């Protein structure tokens, strides 16, 4: 079937196209060049006056794995307010802060998203994460395997194993857990909390292991680079949420010595200690450092006001934050000599000085970082806000007067502590398309996604131009996934199953000899049963695996 999208205004930064009228042809799920022959068009959509972008990609959103399910179970009162009935096409479920898996897929698609990546896949919990993501319809998905507090790595570093050995282990983990990247959460800190350390600075040693967070970051960033994994080491830094952590973050950027590194939800890591409340914005310093260091990419982790739930691997910080839980309940877990998780419900309030300034810090960061290819639009769903608030966030970025109106309503002391009101920048549609499409595909290492040039998969979103950017982005006219029309006028009209994106870097088989002994001696599962096989993802006929190239390694 040949589909033609006629006359839309195309924003396709992957091909350098910034708002040009252009037809798009779709054949067998992919975008193709205009056919030379006189083949008839089977279906034509007149898109004149419409904005056309590729499907949006969320590069950091907590959509699969144990902590999400804990968050759901913890908050039945949150779902009760947002029941989602079944339809002829769609399954029932529930919203809100942590929606059920089907509702997650529908609501992402209804905003024009066609792919989402779970950033905190504990290797021991990877099977669960993939099973849960297998029940998210429409979207493509993938995950970043979490390392850095796993005892195997910390033992290797303490034993001063060479980089090659670490590389083999990292590659083995990413293969065994079917992931596309590597993430570190509070490097070594989740382990340190198990040894009863309640804080851990960049150069502070684990009380048991002879290792510092800085070493862990350097070793893993090197491994990711040497293995040719496209996605840079994905880092949730030390001291999340702690006033003064801007220094830690700047030190982390400096200390990585030019290696590719992605700093996630950097808003939570950009706090100074100035002012009457000893809490201030470090966004300008962070933006300056990011602008200067081209090896660094960031996503913001914007907070937006309202009830949500925070779910993180960072047990150390989550435990410390339980006193702010709203409602007052929380879960912390130590997990399998691998990592941990902490789930704390949270309500961000615009009349709370700290929350109000967090909101401003996130926006300052967006507006002060120059290069939209190196910054990504996230709320760290659900930690800063549920993903359903993205259209509102886009309006804040694109509409200065709306932003300033909002600014005028927050805690007055926070207004005084932010430069937000003096920043004139407004994001363009092209910049939004970079942040949420082309740039995201590039940083994850997705081949044939995130662009509208021939050869790409036909993940396409069509909007009606509207000065109210929130309205525009919350209700696309059409969304195509792999060439199939899945959303019309912001409503799912058809569902399908997306693929799971992975990489398969090479590793030396001998790494399993040592791992097998370690599993037998210390863990509670056999090595052979730990590894996820391809058929676990594909056997039900819905799932599939898409392997992306690693640099310098032919597929």
User: Using CB under 5 A as the criterion, which residues of the chain lie in contact with Zn ion when the complex forms?
Assistant: 380
Between residues 123 and 272, which has the closer beta carbon with respect to another protein? 123
Between residues 244 and 327, which has the closer beta carbon with respect to another protein? 327
Indicate if the alpha-carbon torsion angle 465, 470, 471, 476 is positive or negative: positive
Between residues 10 and 325, which has the closer beta carbon with respect to another protein? 325
In angstroms, the CA 31 to CA 22 distance is: 13
In angstroms, the CA 65 to CA 257 distance is: 33
Between residues 215 and 312, which has the closer beta carbon with respect to Zn ion? 312
Between residues 3 and 335, which has the closer beta carbon with respect to Zn ion? 335
Q: Any contact of residue 210 with another protein (CB under 8 A)?
A: no
Between residues 422 and 529, which has the closer beta carbon with respect to another protein? 529
Q: Of these, 251, 334, 426, 448, which contacts another protein (CB under 8 A)?
A: 334
CB of 94 to another protein, least distance (A): 4
| Bridge partners, 53 (sequence order) | 461
**C-beta separation of 78 from 306 below 8 A:** no
Nearest to Zn ion by Cβ — which residue? 380
Residues numbered 300 to 319 that lie near another protein (CB under 8 A) are: 319
Between residues 90 and 355, which has the closer beta carbon with respect to another protein? 90
Question: Residue 386's binding partner, choosing from Zn ion, another protein, none, with beta-carbon cut-off 5 to 8 A by kind?
Answer: none
Stretch that binds another protein, among 295-303, 395-403, 486-494, 527-535 (CB under 8 A): 527-535
Stretch that binds another protein, among 111-119, 127-135, 347-355, 417-425 (CB under 8 A): 127-135
Question: Residue 81's binding partner, choosing from Zn ion, another protein, none, with beta-carbon cut-off 5 to 8 A by kind?
Answer: none
Q: Any contact of residue 523 with another protein (CB under 8 A)?
A: yes
Minimal CA–CA distance to 13: which of 427, 362, 388? Answer: 427
Question: Residue 167's binding partner, choosing from Zn ion, another protein, none, with beta-carbon cut-off 5 to 8 A by kind?
Answer: none
CB of 496 to another protein, least distance (A): 16
- Measuring CA to CA, how many Å separate 544 from each of 118, 448, 498? 17, 16, 8
Between residues 83 and 257, which has the closer beta carbon with respect to another protein? 83
Question: Residue 397's binding partner, choosing from another protein, Zn ion, none, with beta-carbon cut-off 5 to 8 A by kind?
Answer: none
Q: Of these, 522, 534, 544, 551, which contacts another protein (CB under 8 A)?
A: 522
- Measuring CA to CA, how many Å separate 406 from each of 127, 183, 400, 424, 536? 42, 34, 10, 15, 48
Indicate if the alpha-carbon torsion angle 162, 167, 170, 176 is positive or negative: negative
Between residues 12 and 380, which has the closer beta carbon with respect to Zn ion? 380
DSSP for 169-214 reads: HHHHHHHHTT-SEEEEESTTHHHHHHTT-----TTPPPSSSS--HH
Q: Tell me whether strands 484-488 and 83-84 are parallel, antiparallel or unpaired.
A: unpaired
**C-beta separation of 15 from 455 below 8 A:** no
In angstroms, the CA 168 to CA 510 distance is: 9
DSSP for 437-493 reads: IIHHHHHHT-TT-S--STTSB--EEEEE--SSHHHHHHS-SEEEETTEEEEETTEE-
Q: Any contact of residue 534 with another protein (CB under 8 A)?
A: no
Q: Of these, 9, 61, 100, 270, which contacts another protein (CB under 8 A)?
A: 100
x/- map, 494-513, another protein, by CB under 8 A: --------------------
Omega of the bond leading into 164 within 30 degrees of 0 (cis)? no
Residues numbered 459 to 498 that lie near another protein (CB under 8 A) are: none
- Measuring CA to CA, how many Å separate 545 from each of 142, 533, 548? 10, 11, 10
- Measuring CA to CA, how many Å separate 438 from each of 30, 268, 426, 482? 16, 25, 19, 17
Question: Residue 135's binding partner, choosing from another protein, Zn ion, none, with beta-carbon cut-off 5 to 8 A by kind?
Answer: another protein
Between residues 385 and 410, which has the closer beta carbon with respect to Zn ion? 385
Stretch that binds another protein, among 4-12, 223-231, 324-332, 364-372 (CB under 8 A): 324-332
Q: Of these, 2, 131, 242, 485, which contacts another protein (CB under 8 A)?
A: 131
Question: Residue 380's binding partner, choosing from another protein, Zn ion, none, with beta-carbon cut-off 5 to 8 A by kind?
Answer: Zn ion
Helix runs in 115-150, H state only: 126-134
Question: Residue 487's binding partner, choosing from another protein, Zn ion, none, with beta-carbon cut-off 5 to 8 A by kind?
Answer: none
In angstroms, the CA 447 to CA 30 distance is: 13
Question: Residue 316's binding partner, choosing from another protein, Zn ion, none, with beta-carbon cut-off 5 to 8 A by kind?
Answer: none
Minimal CA–CA distance to 198: which of 247, 239, 158? Answer: 239
Between residues 106 and 376, which has the closer beta carbon with respect to another protein? 106
- Measuring CA to CA, how many Å separate 415 from each of 258, 394, 496? 35, 21, 46
Q: Would you give the DSSP letter of residue 33?
A: P
CB of 278 to Zn ion, least distance (A): 26
x/- map, 58-97, another protein, by CB under 8 A: --------x-xx--xxxxx--xx--xxxx----xxxx---
Q: Of these, 34, 160, 292, 521, which contacts another protein (CB under 8 A)?
A: 521
Crossing angle of helices 163-176 and 511-522, rounded to 10°: 70
Residues at the contact surface with another protein, assessed by CB under 8 A? 66, 68-69, 72-76, 79-80, 83-86, 91-94, 98-102, 122, 124-125, 127-128, 131-132, 135, 151, 194-196, 198, 208, 319, 325, 328-338, 343, 521-526, 528-529, 532-533, 535-536, 539-540
């Amino acid at each position: 079937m040949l589909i033609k999208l006629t006359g839309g205004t195309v924003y396709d930064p992957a091909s350098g196209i910034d708002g040009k009228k252009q037809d798009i042809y779709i054949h067998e799920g992919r975008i193709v060049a205009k056919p030379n022959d006189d083949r008839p068009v089977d279906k034509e959509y007149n898109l004149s006056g419409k904005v056309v972008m590729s499907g949006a990609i969320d590069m950091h959103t907590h959509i699969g794995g144990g902590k999400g399910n804990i968050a759901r179970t913890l908050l039945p009162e949150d779902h009760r307010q947002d029941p989602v009935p079944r339809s002829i096409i769609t399954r029932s479920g529930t919203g809100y802060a942590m929606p059920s898996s089907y509702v997650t897929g529908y609501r992402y698609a209804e905003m024009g998203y066609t792919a989402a990546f779970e950033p905190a896949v504990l290797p021991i919990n990877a099977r669960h994460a993939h099973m849960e993501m297998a029940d998210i319809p429409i979207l493509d998905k993938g995950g970043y395997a979490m390392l850095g507090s796993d005892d195997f790595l910390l033992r290797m570093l303490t034993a001063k194993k060479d980089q090659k050995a670490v590389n083999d282990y990292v590659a083995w983990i990413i293969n065994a857990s079917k992931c596309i990247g590597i993430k570190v959460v509070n490097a070594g800190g989740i382990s340190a909390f198990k040894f009863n350390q309640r804080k851990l600075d960049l150069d502070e040693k684990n009380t048991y292991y002879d290792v510092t967070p800085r070493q862990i970051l350097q070793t893993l960033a090197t491994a990711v680079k040497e293995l040719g994994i496209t996605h840079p080491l994905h880092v949730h830094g030390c001291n999340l949420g702690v006033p003064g952590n801007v220094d830690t973050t700047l030190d982390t950027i400096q200390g990585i010595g030019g290696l590719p590194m992605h700093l996630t939800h950097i808003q939570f890591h950009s706090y100074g200690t100035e002012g009457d409340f000893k809490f201030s914005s470090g966004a300008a310093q962070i933006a300056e450092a990011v602008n200067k260091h081209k090896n660094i990419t960031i996503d913001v982790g914007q907070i937006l006001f309202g009830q949500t739930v925070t779910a993180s691997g960072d047990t150390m910080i989550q435990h410390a934050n339980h006193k702010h839980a709203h409602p007052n309940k929380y879960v912390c877990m130590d997990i399998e000599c691998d990592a941990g998780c902490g789930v704390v419900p949270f309500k961000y309030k615009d009349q709370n000085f700290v929350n109000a300034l967090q909101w401003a810090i996130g926006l300052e960061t967006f507006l002060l970082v120059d290069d939209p290819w190196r910054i990504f639009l996230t709320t760290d769903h659900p930690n800063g806000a549920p993903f359903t608030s993205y259209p509102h966030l886009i309006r804040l970025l694109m509409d200065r007067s709306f932003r300033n109106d909002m600014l005028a309503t927050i805690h007055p002391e926070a207004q005084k502590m932010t430069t937000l009101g003096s920043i004139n920048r407004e994001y363009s549609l092209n910049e939004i398309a970079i942040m949420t499409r082309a740039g995201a595909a590039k940083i994850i290492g997705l081949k044939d996604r995130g662009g509208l040039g021939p050869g790409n998969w036909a993940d396409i979103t069509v909007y009606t131009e509207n000065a109210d950017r929130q309205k525009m982005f919350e209700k696309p006219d059409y969304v195509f996934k792999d060439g199939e029309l899945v959303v019309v006028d912001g409503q799912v009209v058809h569902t399908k199953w997306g693929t799971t994106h992975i990489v398969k870097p090479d590793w030396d088989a001998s790494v399993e000899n040592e791992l097998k002994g370690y599993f037998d001696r210390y863990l509670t599962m056999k090595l052979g049963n730990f590894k996820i096989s391809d058929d676990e993802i594909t056997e039900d006929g819905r799932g599939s695996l898409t392997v992306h190239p690693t640099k310098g390694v032919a597929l």
